[in-house]
């Protein structure tokens, strides 16, 4: 995000540097307690800090959890179009990707394919990488749909690894529902992986969280390598404490800007690119834009070369997304206007 760092986070980092506190972090109980306070206040989810683990980023967390709860060669379910690194996590863990694509209902509505999920689970899949809020389409899955996922996961003994890294970035009037807060079926089948990195712009500080809410699942994760929490950055861990405890006023202001940018795109994109299709996301600062009508084999590559605008290629998110681009709108509206102008200059 093109925004200044939150002052409480900056102050915490400066204090650490001034105290030369830049060694290993390891187990930092204050972060579990901080996250528990945040999740209870914002989502009504009472996290047990004793079931809270650190990792250096959500990707490593996902890979290490996959290695513990599945076996080499196992089928892992995803819903394309989806965050491109889900594919790399599965490959790095030596597992097999099993795609159950989202259903595009039109008008920006993307649903889980429950029949497809059941077939995949029944076929022997052992884990499901759930992206909620969903990157790139921006959907926040409702409790009713998560209850269906949890029931299917319990029925077929599938572990749901819920990547909830965008959870604080929610534009809807309904509070975000963590998978582990849905019901007992979800707690029995689920593992949450998350981080303050997206919402507070801390990705370079390398700290993520692995959370369970069930004693049996917590016991399973005792098989994680003992080195995992030690890979997290002490700077990232304490920055995350500052984010969860004192960073909400900053995030509230950022969300106002992001909401304005999201609306700005909805209003201005049709003026610059009238054949583009875009619907406002329910979460994230990412716009999923369909440029099929412009007949470019790779719209992102074309726009980088001809318009000098860097976008994420849709093809990286799934086999049927080559006509899409993903645009990060966490910047100024002046930058957005300039990007739209440069795109229109070469497409229109």
Two tokens, residue 19: 């105290």
Question: How confident is the model over 216-229, as pLDDT tens digits?
Answer: 999 999 999 999 99
Report the alpha-carbon distance of residue 301 to residue 23 in Å, rounded. 42
Domain 249-347 fold is 3.90.1150
Helix (H) or strand (E) holding 70: none
- What's the pLDDT score for residue 43? 97
- What's the pLDDT score for residue 344? 98
Interior/surface letters 143-164, b for 16+ CB within 10 angstroms, e for the rest: eebbebbbbbbbebebbbbbbb
Phi, psi of 67 (to 5 degrees): -65, -30
Report the alpha-carbon distance of residue 166 to residue 182 in Å, rounded. 18
Q: How far is CA 225 from CA 60, 82, 158, in A?
A: 12, 28, 22
Q: Is the pLDDT of residue 86 over 90?
A: yes
Q: Is the pLDDT of residue 50 over 90?
A: yes
Confidence category of residue 26, pLDDT binned at 50, 70, 90: confident
% of the chain with per-residue pLDDT over 90: 97
Domains of the chain, by residue range, sit at: 23-246, 249-347
Q: Prior bond to 133 cis, omega within 30?
A: yes
Q: List the one residue out of 83, 36, 33, 45 whose CA is nearest residue 175.
A: 45
Phi, psi of 285 (to 5 degrees): -115, 40
Interior/surface letters 25-57, b for 16+ CB within 10 angstroms, e for the rest: beebeebbbbbbebbeebbebebeeebbbbbbb
Average pLDDT of the segment spanning 296-313: 97
Report the alpha-carbon distance of residue 291 to residue 324 in Å, rounded. 6
DSSP state string for 192-231: EEE-SHHHHT-GGG--EEEE--SHHHHHHGGGS-TTTGGG
Average pLDDT of the segment spanning 287-316: 97
CB 193 within 8 A of CB 159: no
- What's the pLDDT score for residue 16? 97
Q: Is the pTM of this model over 0.85?
A: yes
Two tokens, residue 32: 């579990």
Domain 23-246 fold is 3.40.640
Q: Is the pLDDT of residue 192 over 90?
A: yes
**Who contacts 158 (Cβ-Cβ below 8 Å, separation ≥6)?**
77, 121, 125, 126, 127, 128, 152, 189
Report the alpha-carbon distance of residue 211 to residue 294 in Å, rounded. 44
Q: Tell me 328's DSSP state.
A: E
User: Rounded to the nearest 10 degrees, how much is the dihedral formed by the CA atoms of 312, 318, 319, 324?
Assistant: -40
- Helices 248-272 and 333-347: crossing angle in degrees, nearest 10, is 20
Two tokens, residue 95: 């597992």
The label of the residue with tokens 């795609």 reads 99
- What's the pLDDT score for residue 142? 96
- Radius of gyration for the chain, computed over Cα atoms and rounded to the nearest angstrom: 20
Report the alpha-carbon distance of residue 341 to residue 337 in Å, rounded. 6
Report the alpha-carbon distance of residue 241 to residue 252 in Å, rounded. 17
Average pLDDT of the segment spanning 169-197: 97
Two tokens, residue 177: 């529902």
Dihedral sign for Cα atoms in the order 252, 44, 285, 52: positive
- What's the pLDDT score for residue 27? 86
For the chain, the average pLDDT equals: 97
């Amino acid at each position: 995000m093109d925004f200044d760092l939150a002052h409480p986070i900056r102050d915490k980092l400066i204090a650490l540097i001034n105290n030369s506190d830049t060694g290993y972090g390891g187990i930092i109980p204050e972060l579990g307690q901080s996250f528990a306070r945040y999740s209870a206040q914002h989502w009504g989810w009472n996290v047990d800090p004793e079931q809270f683990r650190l990792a250096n980023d959500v990707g490593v967390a996902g890979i290490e959890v996959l290695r513990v709860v599945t076996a080499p060669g196992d089928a892992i379910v995803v819903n394309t179009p989806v965050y491109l690194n889900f594919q790399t996590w599965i490959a790095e863990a030596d597992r097999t990707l099993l795609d159950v694509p989202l259903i595009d209902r039109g008008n920006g509505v993307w649903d889980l394919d429950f029949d497809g999920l059941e077939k995949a689970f029944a076929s022997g899949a052992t884990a499901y990488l759930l992206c909620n809020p969903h990157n790139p389409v921006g959907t926040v899955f409702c409790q009713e749909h998560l209850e269906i996922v949890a029931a299917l996961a319990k029925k077929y003994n599938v572990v749901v690894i819920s990547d909830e890294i965008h959870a604080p970035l929610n534009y809807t009037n309904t509070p975000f529902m963590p998978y582990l807060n849905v019901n007992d079926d979800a707690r029995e089948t689920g593992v949450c992986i998350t981080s303050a990195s997206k919402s507070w712009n801390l990705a370079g500080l390398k700290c993520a969280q692995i959370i369970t809410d069930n004693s049996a699942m917590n016991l399973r994760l005792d098989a994680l390598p003992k080195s995992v929490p030690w890979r997290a950055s002490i700077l990232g861990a304490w920055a995350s404490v500052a984010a969860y405890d004192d960073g909400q006023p900053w995030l509230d202001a950022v969300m106002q800007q992001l909401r304005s940018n999201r609306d700005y795109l909805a209003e201005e994109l049709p003026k610059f690119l009238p054949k583009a299709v875009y619907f406002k996301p329910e979460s994230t600062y990412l716009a999923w834009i369909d440029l099929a009508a412009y007949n470019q084999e790779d719209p992102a590559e074309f726009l980088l070369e001809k318009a000098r605008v860097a976008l994420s290629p849709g093809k990286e998110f799934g086999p049927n997304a080559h006509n899409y681009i993903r645009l990060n709108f966490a910047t100024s509206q002046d930058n957005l206007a300039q990007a739209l102008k440069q795109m229109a200059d070469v497409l229109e």
